[in-house]
Structure 1
Amino acid sequence: MCIWRFLLLATLLIGGCAIVGPASISNGRLVYTEVINYTGDQQVLNMIVRDRYAQTFGMLTVASVTATVRFRANAGAEFRAGASASSVDSNLVPLSAGVAYEENPTISYIPLQGEAFMRRMLMPITLEQAFLVRAAATGKFVGRELYLSTNGVQNPVGGPPSPEFQRLEDIHAELELTGAIYYGRAPAPAPGEAEYYVSLHDYGVEHTDDVQAYLEILGIEGQTVDGRDIVIPIYLAPGKRKNAINVLTRTALDWIRHAGSMIEVPAAHLDEGIVEPSDW
């Protein structure tokens, strides 16, 4: 009987660890990720609505999630009555075993506030971040969310863009749809040269007018629109470098206010002056 007791104990210990470990990760990790993402979205939505109503807002970020898994094993066996005492096989009926575990998470939060938070909210997004958004989304409204101005063509916060800016984005969306425009990075730019550029390529005769209009709105000169590639450097700067694209990007606070301007608020709140009307 000693050997059977040893095998039973080994089975519980080895099997319990093998099953509980992966199961706890599979069940816990996805749930934590989903809840953190969902509550993060809720916080952003709350910020947008509160800013629309001219109220202060803040956020909590998850600093760490520590989960402790505790498990216990149990086993049982039944013996047949009347069987020969010398026969283990006749005495022992199939073993029963079970494993139960509980998970105790410890979640740490850090409030986003103070000087560091304000700096992050008021810092314009970088060109790299703007290009990531461009790569993840397409359409004529993407540029409206990214830029305050392009070569002096204005796109104000909380109101409609200028006709020239909207025309610029319409053309960009059309060229993007046909694969005739993309953003690239120079492999080794010299000091003072642009690190990024916009390339117009493989545009057919049906799009030459669009390309010409695109260049005219930007004030780009000296380019022949005949189907050949056109490479234009792009800078994050308010100044106007000649024959280049100079953009001013939005801040995170601009995005929140821009999104808030599109919220449909109750008419009673407008009549009572609880919230200001939007020009969107």
Structure 2
Amino acid sequence: MKALYSGMAECLYRPSVNILNAARIRLFGWTVIMTIISTITGCNSFGPDALRGTHPLYNDAIVSSMNDQFIQNIVRLHYRDPTFFLDVASVTASMKLDMGGGLDQSSVGLNGGADIMQYSLGGAYSTTPTISYSPLQGESFVKSVLSPIPIDVVFALSTSGWNAQRVFGLCVERMNGIENAPNASGPTPQKAPESGRDLKRLMQLVEEVSIDHLIAPRTDPKTKETQLEIKSSTKFAKQIWEIKDLLGLDQQRQFYHVNSDFIAPSPDTISIRTRSLMSIFFYLSHHVDTPQAHQDAGLVTITHNPDGSVFDWGTTAAGSMFHIRQSNEQPEMAFVAIPYRGNWFYLADNDLDSKSTFMLLMQLFRLQAGATKAVGPTLTIPVH
């Protein structure tokens, strides 16, 4: 009887296996519920955190690809290869959050004397970007890159912080009797352009007097035409006189008409011929270093001086501010570097003049061709 009572007491006070399993399952259930609650709470910041993590990366990638494209097209022009522009039409990214869990129970010993219960929880999120490219082509785009830069855009850039020497040296082909390498607006010429000493001197003088804002564009209140005001100054009297003398202007006037008519020059008028966007690309393409083997093979045009020596495009207004170098191996210190025809072409990261001119070129492209709608098929690429 004593043994019977002892066994009954043991049965009364020892929880059954089913009761233990139920408790463990309830514990697992509460754990899962709390995990889900904490995950849902964390999802409130999942979207913003993902945006902060991915937006700078996409931004950097797009800027880098556009820089590569511009340098590649300039190098193509140097080799007289066709150019092509692609625009990133859109970038979309879908974000996915996956969660999973598992429960495993095993028994060891007789009558389930020992139970092992294991559970697992996991979660992960992923992004699937889709990038759409649109080719820039068609009548509207071609007209935008072949049309001369509007003179008011040139004035706006030169009065908005950009160096006047950089803006005029790049965008202006001729101003009254002063020329800026007009034969550089197309494929590399065989004959060297005329000396640009007068242009360099003019730009130097304009830069000197810009400290006191003595030269500024204006709109005539009556005729609404664009004019250029050249103010008198005791401090810069010599510079102002020389500027007017170089341009063949009336020394007594303060306001001068601005147009693009070179047929009937007048001492009260400044005639300005600007370059087109494509002409600027051509102008910059002449100062690209190339391997000697490519020169010997006739892959590029070599410009010569009248005495037969090789002309240095680095002495021109644009060439002195922009230089694409060449290397047989990928350069270490490059702002932009592209592989082309078995070599590397790049802008040196410490060449601040070239980087500034490149930045100006990007702004001009957006002003001239930025509003052009892409014509043709759009290439959409999902990135895995």
Normalising by structure 2, what TM-score? 0.57
1:166 is matched with which residue?
A: 200
Q: 1:212 aligns with which of 237, 241, 256?
A: 241
The structure with more radius of gyration:
2
- Extract unaligned runs of 5+ from structure 2: 1-25, 103-119, 185-192, 304-310, 314-384
Whole-Å Cα distance in 2 between the matches of residues 131 and 13 of structure 1?
Answer: 56
1:130 is matched with which residue?
A: 154
TM-fit CA distance, 1:213: 0.6
- Find out whether 1:12 has 2:39 as its counterpart: yes
Whole-Å Cα distance in 1 between the matches of residues 287 and 53 of structure 2?
Answer: 38
- Find out whether 1:111 has 2:135 as its counterpart: yes
Whole-Å Cα distance in 1 between the matches of residues 121 and 256 of structure 2?
Answer: 70
- The answer to whether the 8 A contact 2:227-2:255 is kept is no
- The answer to whether the 8 A contact 1:234-1:245 is kept is yes
Q: 1:179 aligns with which of 192, 208, 212?
A: 212
CA spacing shift, 1:190–1:29, aligned 2, 3 Å: farther
Whole-Å Cα distance in 1 between the matches of residues 262 and 278 of structure 2?
Answer: 19
> When the two structures are aligned, how many residues end up with a matched partner?
250
SS at match of 1:197: strand
TM-fit CA distance, 1:198: 4.1
Whole-Å Cα distance in 2 between the matches of residues 59 and 161 of structure 1?
Answer: 33
What amino acid is aligned across from residue 39 of structure 2 in structure 1? L
1:87 is matched with which residue?
A: none
TM-fit CA distance, 1:236: 5.2
SS at match of 1:57: coil
Whole-Å Cα distance in 2 between the matches of residues 241 and 99 of structure 1?
Answer: 78
2:57 is matched with which residue?
A: 31
SS at match of 2:126: strand
TM-fit CA distance, 1:150: 0.9
1:277 is matched with which residue?
A: 302
SS at match of 1:140: helix
TM-fit CA distance, 1:234: 3.5
- The answer to whether the 8 A contact 1:189-1:195 is kept is no
Whole-Å Cα distance in 2 between the matches of residues 267 and 210 of structure 1?
Answer: 44
- Find out whether 1:59 has 2:59 as its counterpart: no
2:124 is matched with which residue?
A: 100
CA spacing shift, 1:8–1:270, aligned 2, 3 Å: closer
Whole-Å Cα distance in 1 between the matches of residues 213 and 127 of structure 2?
Answer: 53
SS at match of 1:131: helix
Whole-Å Cα distance in 1 between the matches of residues 127 and 44 of structure 2?
Answer: 14
Whole-Å Cα distance in 2 between the matches of residues 29 and 196 of structure 1?
Answer: 45
- The answer to whether the 8 A contact 1:153-1:165 is kept is yes
